[in-house]
Structure 1
Amino acid sequence: MVRRHLGLGLVAMLLSCAAFGTSGPFAKALMTAGWTPGAVVLTRITGAALLLLPFTLWALRGRWREVAHELPRVALYGSLAVAAAQLGYFQAVARMPVAVALLIEYLGIVLVVLWVWALTRVRPHRLTGVGIVLAIGGLALVLDVTGQSTPSLVGVLWGLLAATGLAGHYVLAGRPTALPATSFAGLGLTVGAVALGLLGLVGALPMHRGSGAVVVAGAEIPAWAAIGELVVVAAALAYVLGVLGARHLGSTLASFVGLTEVLFAVLFAWLVLGELPGVVQLVGGVVLLSGVVAVRLGERDRARRAEQAVETDFDVPSPVA
């Protein structure tokens, strides 16, 4: 069982969000050059799985019985949190603005809170509820979606699939397991790659490669360079750090810290594409982070009350002398 460290979990989660936030410009460049969303996702996930394979096997030496025990959860994580989340997001991006797709995907944080509530039968703290409102409101301001046209219904459905996958990531990655974070992420990526590959083989998911050159930040670069970034940074590194961070922070807090991916996405869009965030987006960032703080305070207060309740139970004298 992993002993939780808030500082380590927070750093790992923020780095994971930054890594995930780099995927937008590079994936968009590939799709603009004729790559289908399925091909981009499959290439990204397969490359990351292969990159992590040596580390995964090394970490699992002598622990194959534990792998067999955790296989159902790994399979669910790979299918839901890897394949469904990434495919849903890129399919949505292909049909609507990136901002709208991100907003729909991050509705998954609400699903996390509801899932934890249903699983534990413990109502979220009032501050957690306030955090939900602040985080969603701040996210809407950061994405500045008020002026967007009505999104495609098909795109919305793909975005909801991505939201479900995102919720699955935080719930499944945040639960204690005997498998190291690198191995869990590597096995999950492998399952996701196999699932998407099978869909491509049967023709259910179009897999078409586009041009060998893409345009990023106004400059033409080889397609393999964009793919390399998606594989190494936006997939392998992002998933390993995300699993590590979720284990130390827990599902609920990790899901809210994960909202900072949007801030990183805005930052990288500014650095790579020259898109400077507006005043509304900056205000939204402050509101979003306030929501994260509210969730943290709510979770801390609930944990303190639970500890006090346990201590009170032990202090009650026994009726039997």
Structure 2
Amino acid sequence: MNTKPLPRWLGVSLLLLIAAAFASNHISARIAFDHGTNVTTAVAVRSCATVLFVLALLRHAGVVPRMPRPTLRRAAAIGLLMSVQSLCLYSAVARIPVALALLAFNTFPLLLGLISWAAGAQRPSSRALVATPIALAGLALALDAAGWATPAGAARPVPPAAMAAGVAFALTGATAFAGALFFTTRWLDTTDGRLRTLVLMMVVAVVAIAAGLVDGHFDWPRDTAGWLALAALSVLYGSGITGLFVLLPRIGAVNNAAVMNAEPIIALFLGWVVLDQRVAPIQIAGAFVVIGAIVMLTTGRR
């Protein structure tokens, strides 16, 4: 497939729309979890819905869903990384405020840069050596590692065990996602983005269904609000992930992944409006420190 580069302004604008879709997806996921859905059910449903959506796109475009066997094996391996990312990030969203889960997860541009360097790319710049400790310090503030934050308004503090588990899940998901982006741009850069998404989501669906069977149950929404949230997260995720894997190879994952750091800011606003999830001022300040450091790292001269 011809992957002609997009103009920078257009690529960034589309990435911002994708970030908004992902933020809304995670808000919908938290609503679904609060109304009876469990993580494996949500991941399985959204992945199956995405597969059907992409199949419809391919059929409409007259594209035969076929890959060479070596490419298919590589796509399946990336799909396993996406499975880890999906299950871990939703597990984080289910435990801690959505914005904090996404903030920890959105360290993936830092991890992507480290993976690229370890794979033989240029060594970290002086900008990276400055930005990385700043980002870690901001993350410590945002996640209230020192226990300094006072809950805002009527917000209830997250129990330390839940916070630790949520952060661990989010960082594991970030590592898996960074790996998926790295291998996608190197192994599948000439593959139709819709075919990439189809194979990745098929693997994620299989893994999620298998996890549910091993766990012994799928928990479904117990009321209308839960079903609506489950449907919304499927639509938002399907459109967002399809757009992401079509777009990133055309604008460069390493250079533009920082744009996705708009996602936790959007989620912070939506979490406050929709879920009444509030965080202390020091945590908000820490969030902006992290985002500023990541933007500094990934948008400097190369």
Is TM more than 0.5 here? yes
Greater length-normalized contact order (CA 8 Å, ≥ 6 residues apart)? 2
Q: Tell me the equivalent position of 2:205.
A: 193
Superimposed CA distance per residue, residues 15-72 of structure 1 (whole angstroms, 9 cap, x where no aligned partner)? 11111101233212221222211111111211122122111345572573x4534212
Structure 1: 5+ residue stretches without partners: 215-222, 302-321
In structure 2, relative to structure 1, the CA distance for the partners of 1:224 and 1:51 (3 Å cut) is farther
In structure 2, relative to structure 1, the CA distance for the partners of 1:286 and 1:105 (3 Å cut) is closer
Superimposed CA distance per residue, residues 220-247 of structure 1 (whole angstroms, 9 cap, x where no aligned partner)? xxx33212210111x1111022223422
Cα deviation for residue 210 of structure 1 reads: 3.2
Aligned pair count reads 288
Q: Tell me the equivalent position of 1:101.
A: 101
Q: Tell me the equivalent position of 1:287.
A: 289
- Tell me the amino acid that sits aligned with residue 48 of structure 2: T
Instruction: Quote the Cα distance in structure 1 between the aligned partners of 2:297 and 2:70.
Output: 33
Cα deviation for residue 166 of structure 1 reads: 2.0
Cα deviation for residue 261 of structure 1 reads: 1.2
Q: Tell me the equivalent position of 2:21.
A: 19
**Mapping for residues 310-321 of structure 1, pairs under 5 Å:** none
TM normalised by structure 1 equals 0.76
In structure 2, relative to structure 1, the CA distance for the partners of 1:294 and 1:108 (3 Å cut) is closer
In structure 2, relative to structure 1, the CA distance for the partners of 1:45 and 1:8 (3 Å cut) is same
Does 1:168 find its partner at 2:168? no
Structure 2: 5+ residue stretches without partners: 150-157
- Tell me the amino acid that sits aligned with residue 228 of structure 1: A
Q: Tell me the equivalent position of 1:41.
A: 43
Instruction: Quote the Cα distance in structure 2 between the aligned partners of 1:144 and 1:245.
Output: 35
Instruction: Quote the Cα distance in structure 2 between the aligned partners of 1:16 and 1:177.
Output: 19
In structure 2, relative to structure 1, the CA distance for the partners of 1:62 and 1:98 (3 Å cut) is closer
- Percentage of pairs with the same residue: 26
Cα deviation for residue 292 of structure 1 reads: 4.3
Q: Tell me the equivalent position of 1:266.
A: 268
Q: Tell me the equivalent position of 1:110.
A: 110
In structure 2, relative to structure 1, the CA distance for the partners of 1:11 and 1:199 (3 Å cut) is same
SS of 1:2's partner is: coil
Q: Tell me the equivalent position of 2:255.
A: 253
In structure 2, relative to structure 1, the CA distance for the partners of 1:251 and 1:132 (3 Å cut) is farther
SS of 1:241's partner is: helix
- Tell me the amino acid that sits aligned with residue 118 of structure 2: A
Instruction: Quote the Cα distance in structure 2 between the aligned partners of 1:225 and 1:290.
Output: 35
Max Rg structure: 1
TM normalised by structure 2 equals 0.80
**Mapping for residues 233-252 of structure 1, pairs under 5 Å:** 233=236, 235-252=237-254
Instruction: Quote the Cα distance in structure 1 between the aligned partners of 2:31 and 2:64.
Output: 42
In structure 2, relative to structure 1, the CA distance for the partners of 1:136 and 1:2 (3 Å cut) is farther
Cα deviation for residue 76 of structure 1 reads: 2.0
Instruction: Quote the Cα distance in structure 1 between the aligned partners of 2:256 and 2:216.
Output: 31
Instruction: Quote the Cα distance in structure 2 between the aligned partners of 1:189 and 1:238.
Output: 12
In structure 2, relative to structure 1, the CA distance for the partners of 1:140 and 1:50 (3 Å cut) is farther
